[in-house]
Amino acid sequence: MVLKTRSYSMGPAIMTIVMFLPFMLILWLANCAEKAKGEGGKASAPVMLTYVLLLLLLAFFVFVGVSLQFLGSLAPGLFAFDPSTGVPLLPAETVAAIPKMGFGLWLPSLLGMFVLLPPARRVLARLIPINPSNTIHAVALSYSMLILAQLLATMGMGLRNLTSLLNVGGDTLELPSLIPAFWAQELTWTFMAMVGVGLLSRRNLRQATTRLGLVLPTARQTAIGLGTGIGLAMLAYAALYVAEIVGFGLNEEVEKLSEVLIGPLAKSAWGIATLGIAAALGEESIFRGALQPRFGLFLTAALFTLLHAQYGLSLATAVVFIVSLAFGWVRQVNNTSTSMIVHATYNVAVALLSLLAGSGP
């Protein structure tokens, strides 16, 4: 087993950070609005600005989705051939899937607008512990629809087509760009979680980390995290192994796309560390730290599962949901720091098990 090391490129990492800036700005404005409400000041301006910017963001996604759907249906040649040379740009199968991807983008974006309506939020408040008049909760609900958009757009394009697109050029997702981009995404998510619960507006750093459940874990909690993570990894790996034997394993498209997206990470020491530490830091901060206290255990686990759209709708999706429930349960009975340890240990253990299985005897 050989673990490789390389030098890294920061360009994709910077692009990743910039991509999330509008989302953080809207969350910050929503917190400013709630702070103004709590202090008895005029909150109408920050509330209005929050909703206007959020609606503009969602409208952009609707526009892109509708454009892809109709242009892909009515003028597929725009995507199929270079108009100046007539050289094919994309395979016919990929071009045919563009309208479905567009539909998967604009429909959830419209749903994101719908949940901003007060009557919709009042109905949802009967199901999950949110405040229907809270601007932050409204923004979080709307953002959750974009997670659905990722899944539907992925399924619309098709896992095989996505794999082909990502493989164009051969080295698009190699380690020099993949590791910094992954760390940038997860650290940005961590910061976004803090901004979402009031950092830089309603809470100081200590208050924000307390709200997120980020504490220094005890020795007992660390042991719980390590043991639970290893146990979950072994159970998940065993379940997928047995399922493959009886003919219900991962389909070939899921395996190929997963290899393109995260395969290089699992073959590098830094990559495996990234899969463990970075993913746990960012995803647990957002999902178990920020969202679960408001969305509840099951909805948060469902959103976490939808985020992992590279699995499509497969057995791996069910495994992710069950594992996510375990992460959430650990957060409820301990804290988010402990669920981070579980998550990191699980990811590292799964990566090592896959690496060992692939290396042969």
Tokens matching residue 296? 């509840």
Tell whether 315 and 223 lie within a shared domain.
yes
Question: Is the Cβ–Cβ distance between 34 and 135 less than 8 Å?
Answer: yes
Evaluate whether residue 335 is within a structural domain: yes
Q: What would the mean pLDDT of 255-262 be, rounded to a whole number?
A: 69
Per-residue pLDDT at 90 exceeds 80: no
- Bridge partners of residue 88, in order along the sequence: 81
Evaluate whether residue 20 is within a structural domain: no
Per-residue pLDDT at 27 exceeds 80: yes
The band of 260, judged by pLDDT with boundaries at 50, 70 and 90, is: low
Evaluate whether residue 142 is within a structural domain: yes
Per-residue pLDDT at 292 exceeds 90: yes
pLDDT of residue 38: 86
The domain in which residue 109 lies consists of: 43-157
Per-residue buried b or exposed e for 97-117, using 16+ beta carbons within 10 Å of the residue's own CB: bbbbbbbbbbbbbbbbbebbe
The band of 92, judged by pLDDT with boundaries at 50, 70 and 90, is: confident
Q: SS3 for 203?
A: strand
Evaluate whether residue 18 is within a structural domain: no
Q: Please list the alpha-helical segments (H only) found in the chain.
A: 11-38, 44-74, 77-80, 92-114, 118-125, 135-157, 159-166, 175-196, 205-212, 219-245, 252-262, 269-273, 279-284, 292-295, 297-307, 315-333, 336-359
Tell whether 148 and 185 lie within a shared domain.
no
pLDDT of residue 172: 47
Neighbours of 92 (CB within 10 A): 10
Tokens matching residue 272? 């495996």
Tokens matching residue 238? 């065993």
Tell whether 111 and 254 lie within a shared domain.
no
Average pLDDT value over all residues in the chain: 87
Nearest to 181 by CA among 20, 23, 17: 17
Instruction: Summarize pLDDT for 181-236 with one digit per residue, the tens.
Output: 899 999 999 999 999 999 999 999 999 999 999 999 999 999 999 999 999 999 99
Q: For residues 248, 252, 257 and 258, what is the CA-based torsion angle, rounded to 10 degrees?
A: 50
Q: What would the mean pLDDT of 4-30 be, rounded to a whole number?
A: 82
pLDDT of residue 79: 60
Q: Which residue has the higher pLDDT, 315 or 89?
A: 315
Nearest to 103 by CA among 54, 156, 147: 156
Instruction: Summarize pLDDT for 139-151 with one digit per residue, the tens.
Output: 999 999 999 999 8
